[in-house]
């Protein structure tokens, strides 16, 4: 086991990793930007190091500053959290060259699954179902048009090197395809330093279902069930739950088996998530793999009892998984709400500022993950998520009732949040029935 780990992240996930390390008896080094100076969670780390000013490009995304902090504090490993450098294979390679473990998959594996074109080819080889589309990166508009005419509109153009909705365009006509292709290339180049894009059939009104994978360095791979992440805004998840209300037992097994097959084909060796689109007819299609711990991992922790962050650290040291697939038991239903400092009624506009009152909910079945408190300054430099509110009850119906109660209890003042939106969602009969798709939020609550 490691004796000291540097956490190359901030906020809620940094606090989550600190807590896991404390329980494992591992010392922690927390890095922070000037914008995060004085944050309470930093007090829980054994050592703190300032790595630069507020903008992420000059702090949390600056590899040289993070590696320097790791070297001067003599850590054995770096935990990247999620976002920032968590899926940056170049960063993982630099860690390796400096004899520092990167707590995640090997750089070669990360590169393989992180490039969407390579990942599709790997999924095809592993026998996973794929939406019709290009075999590889598309070179120009004429090739894109030929593919669109072959598979039929609508189609979607996607960046090969990234996600989160950037470098992505939907096209219904030749004109929109040409315009979207060029725009996607420019956006992909700016966001991911990789202008490559590919084209595939656009699946209208799907659900988004993902499988949590855990793999060690000795070839053992298990899945920890699914999460349904269908409720999204701008391709960013808002509500996540497990189990999915849309899966039958047989379909659940089929998707989980496909995810494990993909991870095995990739030689995967860490925590990761294989994501799928689920059509209304019950057919599912491989979308991508995220080679890191997910924001929504608490949902899976609650229904399985597995501490995903601790297991991620353990397998990084070379330990074998301490359990097999048959040992994993699923209990009840869990739902997570991402609480963001944003105005959902104004196009989900971020709302940074000082939190003047902060009283989170509690009671039976409630888990609350946050680094915030009264007096905390929500920075304009980073993602707007300030908390995760998770409930775990015996059934989905009970979890929805508990979430309504928890949302009503949650007091936060000084910044606008999306709590009013969540209250509407959990009173919406379409959501209660489980009858939603990935376009639902922005169509139902566009005003």
* Per-residue pLDDT reduced to its tens digit, 271-317: 999 999 999 999 999 999 999 999 999 999 999 999 999 999 999 99
Active-site position among 292, 338, 393, 416: 292
Reported as a pLDDT band with limits 50, 70 and 90, residue 157 is very high
Q: How many CB atoms lie within 10 A of CB 296?
A: 26
All residues at 6 or more sequence positions from 127 whose CB lies less than 8 Å from its CB, including other chains:
258, 261
**How many Cα atoms sit within 13 Å of 98 on the Cβ side?**
23
- Answer for the pair 148, 155: CB distance below 8 angstroms, yes or no: yes
132-201 domain in CATH 3.40.50.2300? no
* Per-residue pLDDT reduced to its tens digit, 37-55: 999 999 999 999 999 999 9
Mean pLDDT over all residues of the chain?
95
Looking at residue 238, what is its pLDDT?
Answer: 97
207-444 domain in CATH 1.10.540.10? no
* Per-residue pLDDT reduced to its tens digit, 187-201: 888 878 888 899 999
Collapsing DSSP states into helix, strand and coil, what is residue 349?
strand
| Least confidently predicted of 147-161, 214-228, 237-251 | 147-161
* Per-residue pLDDT reduced to its tens digit, 53-77: 999 999 999 999 999 999 999 999 9
4-103 domain in CATH 3.40.50.20? yes
Q: Is the pLDDT of residue 108 over 90?
A: yes
Looking at residue 162, what is its pLDDT?
Answer: 72
Mean pLDDT of 83-94: 96
pTM here is: 0.94
Domain boundaries, the chain: 4-103, 132-201, 207-444
Looking at residue 446, what is its pLDDT?
Answer: 60
Looking at residue 445, what is its pLDDT?
Answer: 72
Catalytic residue list contains 292: yes
């Amino acid at each position: 086991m490691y004796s000291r780990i540097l956490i190359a992240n901030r906020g809620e996930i940094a606090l989550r990793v600190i807590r896991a390390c404390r329980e494992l008896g591992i010392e922690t080094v927390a890095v922070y930007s000037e914008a995060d100076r004085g944050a309470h969670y930093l007090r829980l780390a054994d050592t703190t190091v300032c790595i630069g000013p507020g903008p992420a490009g000059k702090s949390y995304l600056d590899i040289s500053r993070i590696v320097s902090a790791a070297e001067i504090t003599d850590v054995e490993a770096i935990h990247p959290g999620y976002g920032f450098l968590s899926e940056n294979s170049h960063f993982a390679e630099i860690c390796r060259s400096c004899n520092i473990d990167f707590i995640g998959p090997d750089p070669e594996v990360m590169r393989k699954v992180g490039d969407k074109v390579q990942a599709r080819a790997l999924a095809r080889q592993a026998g996973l179902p794929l939406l019709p589309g290009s075999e590889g990166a598309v070179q120009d508009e004429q090739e894109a048009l030929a593919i669109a005419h072959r598979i039929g509109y609508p189609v979607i153009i996607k960046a090969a090197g990234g996600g989160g909705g950037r470098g992505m365009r939907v096209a219904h006509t030749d004109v929109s395809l040409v315009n979207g292709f060029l725009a996607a290339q420019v956006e992909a180049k700016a966001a991911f330093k990789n202008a490559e894009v590919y084209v595939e059939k656009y699946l209208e009104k799907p659900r988004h279902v993902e499988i949590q994978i855990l793999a060690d360095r000795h070839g053992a791979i298990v899945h920890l069930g699914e999460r349904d992440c269908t409720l999204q805004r701008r391709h960013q998840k808002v509500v996540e739950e497990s189990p999915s209300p849309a899966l039958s037992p047989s379909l659940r097994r089929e998707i989980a088996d496909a995810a494990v097959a993909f991870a095995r084909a990739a030689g995967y060796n860490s925590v990761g998530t294989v994501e799928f689109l689920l059509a209304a007819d019950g057919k599912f299609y491989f979308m991508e793999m995220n080679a890191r711990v997910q924001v929504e991992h608490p949902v899976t922790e609650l229904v399985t009892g597995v501490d995903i962050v601790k297991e991620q650290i353990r397998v990084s040291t070379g330990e074998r998984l301490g359990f097999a697939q048959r040992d994993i038991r699923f209990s009840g239903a869990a739902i997570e709400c991402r609480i963001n400092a944003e105005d959902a009624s104004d196009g989900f506009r971020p709302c940074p500022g000082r939190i003047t009152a902060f009283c989170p909910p509690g009671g039976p079945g409630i888990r609350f993950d946050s680094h915030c408190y009264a007096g905390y300054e929500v920075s304009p430099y980073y993602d707007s998520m300030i908390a995760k509110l998770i409930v775990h009850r015996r059934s989905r119906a009970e979890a929805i009732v508990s979430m309504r109660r928890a949302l009503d209890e949650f007091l936060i003042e000084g910044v606008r949040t999306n709590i009013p939106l969540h209250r509407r969602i959990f009173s919406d009969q379409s959501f209660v029935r489980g009858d939603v798709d990935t376009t639902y939020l922005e169509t139902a609550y566009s005003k």
